[in-house]
Structure 1
């Protein structure tokens, strides 16, 4: 059996390698499409295709991970991402970029839950169902944030020193990082059991048998979210987070372009501001367990962190009235507070979710959560962008702040978690306790 410390290290490594490719492509992606002839409407179509694929595939892929295993699904995600990134690096018109975006969306949907579900299962196997999830989840979230920070800075600087097709260089680097992820997943993620059977199936079973199990797993995950009021409220928080995150990512580049007056300097400023936010995300993830102790529990700490995020988004909205370097610095400070607070709230919310979900539904519920986040992002694109055009960026960010603040109410009087029956470890401990009584 793998030790909890070994599982924690491997989970952190996998999280780092999972988030390094999107970090590397964050800065050059839009510019690459622009220099290869796509207009803003076509670029928007490419982004919309990515979100649409995730929304459609999120639940089926989560159920698939619960049926055939986390390692298989995450390895396939890495392989698909390699193909998508190579396609993007070579694309020269809208259709190849659309294909690349679809492939990346498939990879994102496949990878949204398996690694975390694998870690929680490994920790429960090593320490039992009452094991403290916070330290390992914090290390994993920190590793992902560090990867995004390094990737964003590297992806923004590589085109300055590369020759030839400079904007494609970070994309090729991201494809290479995905290959490393594929190899690492195959080596570092031994599975001792699957959620629905208690043990890894002999040869994963026949494809037809597996696919028959997926819809049932999905229905179970959705039913759990509807019948467990506490879990349903925790999942709704993700919609507000999606509205907020997409709102600031959608509107900040234009705001910085207005402050700097040039697209290239705006891109550099955005890379720095984003890197600061990701660094704060890493620090917040590490601090989350301590914040929970100081606040007297995970629920109280999540509420306080959510209030901090709402205040920081409101400060970002207020900074829309500033000009020049003062405006850029204000945006950077707001980003630090937003991402630090959001990382604390998200990690503690994840812990609260896991304590309500049995192993057999864990990856599915993680996919439901990711789906909620994407749904919030879609709402943000539909509502906040027109609001910004009509009333200004500051008004749109103020609306996002109000939504985040309102989501803090979902934690108030959160119902106590039910025993996660369906998880063999929990059932075994419950039976043993009953027999001792």
Structure 2
């Protein structure tokens, strides 16, 4: 395949992966409430997903590097289908918790393999391939996919329940889940058809070798973070970034309700518009990186997002809060491909997914800590104070993008990997 063909397949698979998410975002809490669960119960089961992802993120990244990205994504797709099927009928804390546990396994498995496949295949086809442009387009595609299906989800709910003959009636809030299940099946089939990967070794011996390669891949990612100050700086950005994300993912609806009585009616359309803004921001990245370079672009975006979030907390009236929120999401969409591109440049393909999983893993405790700290600040000092606190944390991460490698002109500070016989203590 040429680099262009690889990019087309990557963008197609990425768009299909995120279409179901847009359908679920507007309804998952409302559907659980409709089925008799309380807010506290919903919060508890949702936390299960984060805990599972935190525990499995790095090991599953090692599985992807050891067994192959395609088979891991296919297994992830099957688990996701089971999770969504459970969610369709979940009417108790136990069933909903099981659905979210499976969702956590799915999220851990699918975090990184497709992106790693795209980078490796692109560089194999053309060593000078512009992977940042592809990642930028990926951010645009995923954001547009979520924005579009979020609107469709609202339309499906508006159409009302549908009859299933002898099976009874499907409630209006359940219809988007059923459509998401169908789209997820299509996405899994697309992975099987479009994602090609050369892994010549097969059979039992190859399976055992791959299994032994999992801890090596995990150790390699940890060793890279320890020995490379560039990688350590980048995953530190991810931690602080995730901490600050609480401001616009959890506190924004609260802040909006403080400045307008129509927060409930506005939240859905504003969220869809925000994902559209994220797509626009992602599309601007090739221009920005050509002008400023990736590191300075990352620096400027972190400062810009901090200022936008501060605006959410300080500006009065719905227009000011919503405007700042949309600017925040524009910067958020632009930041993702820049951060991913910088991270990809620090590692060779064999352990690429493990490093992406390590980066994703540190985001889980970052978001959890932010949720605890910032909601406590909001309770004691008010929502604006909590939002401004998160804005400061976002801006503090900016200088970390300017950290340089100790040696070498390529920017690759540490490229060697532990051999299969390397122990954990030797590698770390």
TM-score, length of structure 1 as denominator length: 0.89
Do the aligned partners of 1:355 and 1:420 also contact (CA within 8 Å) in 2?
no
Q: Specify which of 373, 376, 392 is matched with residue 383 of structure 1.
A: 373
Shift of 1:156: 2.7
For the structure 1 residues 157 and 277, does the alpha-carbon distance in structure 2 shift closer, same or farther, using more than 3 Å as the test?
same
Aligned to 1:157: 155
Larger deviation: 245-254 or 11-20?
245-254
Aligned to 2:278: 281
Aligned to 2:190: 184
SS in 2 for 1:27: coil
Shift of 1:331: 2.8
Larger deviation: 352-361 or 410-419?
410-419
Aligned to 1:401: 391
Aligned to 1:291: 288
Aligned to 1:428: none
Q: C-alpha distance in 1, partners of 2:186/2:344?
A: 29
Do the aligned partners of 1:247 and 1:377 also contact (CA within 8 Å) in 2?
no
Extract unaligned runs of 5+ from structure 2.
162-169, 406-410, 419-428
Larger deviation: 245-254 or 362-371?
245-254
Deviations 1:263-293 (CA, angstroms, capped at 9, x unpaired): xx64442121111111111111111010111
Shift of 1:260: 4.8
Shift of 1:155: 2.0
Q: C-alpha distance in 2, partners of 1:268/1:212?
A: 53
Shift of 1:391: 1.1
Extract unaligned runs of 5+ from structure 1.
193-198, 424-437
Deviations 1:134-164 (CA, angstroms, capped at 9, x unpaired): 1111111111111111122222332111314
For the structure 1 residues 204 and 224, does the alpha-carbon distance in structure 2 shift closer, same or farther, using more than 3 Å as the test?
farther
Aligned to 1:171: 177
Q: C-alpha distance in 1, partners of 2:254/2:159?
A: 25
Shift of 1:205: 4.8
For the structure 1 residues 176 and 266, does the alpha-carbon distance in structure 2 shift closer, same or farther, using more than 3 Å as the test?
farther
Q: C-alpha distance in 1, partners of 2:391/2:96?
A: 33
Matched, 1:316 2:315: no
Shift of 1:389: 1.2
Do the aligned partners of 1:356 and 1:418 also contact (CA within 8 Å) in 2?
yes
Aligned to 1:29: 28
Aligned to 1:195: none
* 1:327-342 map, 5 Å: 327=318, 329-342=319-332
Deviations 1:18-74 (CA, angstroms, capped at 9, x unpaired): 112222111111111111111111011011111101101100110000001111111
Do the aligned partners of 1:303 and 1:345 also contact (CA within 8 Å) in 2?
no
SS in 2 for 1:166: coil
Q: Specify which of 407, 413, 421 is matched with residue 418 of structure 1.
A: 413
Aligned to 1:112: 111
Shift of 1:311: 0.5
Do the aligned partners of 2:230 and 2:403 also contact (CA within 8 Å) in 1?
no
SS in 1 for 2:105: helix
For the structure 1 residues 179 and 36, does the alpha-carbon distance in structure 2 shift closer, same or farther, using more than 3 Å as the test?
same
Q: C-alpha distance in 1, partners of 2:96/2:153?
A: 19
Larger deviation: 56-65 or 272-281?
272-281
Q: C-alpha distance in 2, partners of 1:396/1:271?
A: 23
Aligned to 2:53: 54
Matched, 1:229 2:229: yes
Matched, 1:42 2:37: no
Q: C-alpha distance in 2, partners of 1:202/1:52?
A: 34
Aligned to 1:93: 92
Q: C-alpha distance in 2, partners of 1:314/1:285?
A: 21
Shift of 1:421: 4.6
Q: C-alpha distance in 1, partners of 2:113/2:210?
A: 16
Aligned to 1:434: none
